[in-house]
Amino acid sequence: MTQDQLLAAFAAAEPLVGNTPLHRFQSLETSSGVEIHAKLEWLQWGGSVKMRPAFRLMKEAVKRGELHPGLRLLDSTSGNTGIAYAAIAAKVGLAVTIVMPEHATEERKLMMRSLGAELILTDTNLSSDEVFAYTQDLAARHPHKYFYANQYDNPDNCRAHSETTAPEIVDQTNERITHFCAGLGTCGSFTGTGKRLKELNSAIQLVGMHVAEKDNDIEGWKYLAGSRHPKIYDATMADDNVFVSTQEAFDMVKHVALHEGLLISPSSGAALAGAQQVARKLDKGVVVTILPDDASKYGEVMKKIMGN
């Protein structure tokens, strides 16, 4: 397959990326003057927010000639980015190798393998930083086998959100958004979306949402206080920061199921818990956050949360 053919395949698939709905969570609103909204990111190809950066990373790498059928895309991920990479690769005709923790949910492993991805499972005891270092070393030792996407440091991660997520939010709120908050993992959603929102309206307040505990069950969020910061993260962008515990995230998952009729993931529960913290400080405003994915990949965790 030629570069032109690959790029044509990406162009044909691009309408499947993004354009997710914005949902208002009225059951979480505690003041008549404050609205809480969230992007339902699982309602796009690949089933999560990670389709946006994965698609941009791969397309731009093909444009630059760095990714082609002679190389396998390589990256480390807790799951959602890997699923997105695998879905894209299957559609356009590329190969993917994903490095991920052995304890990742069986649903995620099955999805990636079903989409044709090769999985390298790392020891459960390795930290996310150690998995990152392992992947870097693997790429360095096999430069003629892998294209290393490096979602944590690749600026295309942020650009994906600057060019799609931010303008969607502005349009969907009719330019009424006053506060944007996002959970911090690779930090692409927060940094990319936030930077563009500030360019469009400098009055919009940006709130970084952190996991409160080092040992937590909020998959996809990174404990930045004790780990390597992604190079794409700019801590100075945040006008404020909030901290969310695992229990708060779990309680929110249960609340949203029973009061909104939506089955969301722990990271989505954490995002809404953080957004509610922001909203409680306000007398008036429109708070927007991002829900990375739904509950479909978290069978055992959902049993724990719902008490089944």
**Which tokens belong to 62?**
């093909």
Four-point Cα dihedral 152, 248, 295, 36, nearest 10? -80
**Which tokens belong to 31?**
């003041």
pLDDT at 226 over 80: no
pLDDT at 36 over 60: yes
Beta strands in the chain (DSSP E): 22-24, 34-40, 72-76, 95-101, 118-122, 146-148, 179-183, 205-211, 240-244, 285-291
Q: What is the pLDDT of residues 240-297, one digit of tens each?
A: 999 999 999 999 999 999 999 999 999 999 999 999 999 999 999 999 999 999 999 9
CA distances from 293 to 88, 170, 174, 175, 268 (A): 17, 21, 24, 25, 7
Q: Which of 56-60, 127-131, 155-159, 176-180 has the lowest mean pLDDT?
A: 127-131
Q: Where are the domains of the chain?
A: 17-45+159-306, 51-148
Relative to beta strand 205-211, strand 179-183 is parallel
CA distances from 49 to 7, 55, 72, 174 (A): 22, 11, 23, 22
Rounded Cα gap, residues 108 and 79, in angstroms: 6
Domain pair 17-45+159-306 / 51-148, same fold: yes
Give the relative orientation of helices 51-63 and 3-13 as an angle to the nearest 10 degrees: 160
Looking at 3.40.50.1100, 3.40.630.30, 3.40.640.10, 2.40.128.20, the CATH number of the domain 17-45+159-306 comes to 3.40.50.1100
Q: Which residue has the tokens 């440091």?
A: 153
- Confidence class of residue 308 from pLDDT cuts 50, 70 and 90? low
User: What's the whole-number mean pLDDT along residues 23-52?
Assistant: 97
pLDDT value at residue 43? 98
**Which tokens belong to 27?**
């059951």
Closest CA to 152 of 131, 138, 123: 131
Q: What is the pLDDT of residues 75-101, one digit of tens each?
A: 999 789 999 999 999 999 999 999 998
| CATH code that applies to domain 51-148 | 3.40.50.1100
User: What's the whole-number mean pLDDT along residues 158-185?
Assistant: 97
Rounded Cα gap, residues 97 and 92, in angstroms: 15
Beta bridge pairs of residue 155: none
Hey, what long-range contacts does 139-145 have (CB within 8 A, 24 or more apart)?
A: 139/74, 144/71, 145/71, 145/72
User: What's the whole-number mean pLDDT along residues 152-164?
Assistant: 95
**Which tokens belong to 4?**
């032109």
Rounded Cα gap, residues 16 and 95, in angstroms: 20
Rounded Cα gap, residues 276 and 244, in angstroms: 11
User: What's the whole-number mean pLDDT along residues 99-105?
Assistant: 89
- The amino acid occupying position 211 is V
DSSP per-residue letters across 82-120: HHHHHHHHHHHT-EEEEEEETTS-HHHHHHHHHTT-EEE
Q: How many residues does the chain have?
A: 308
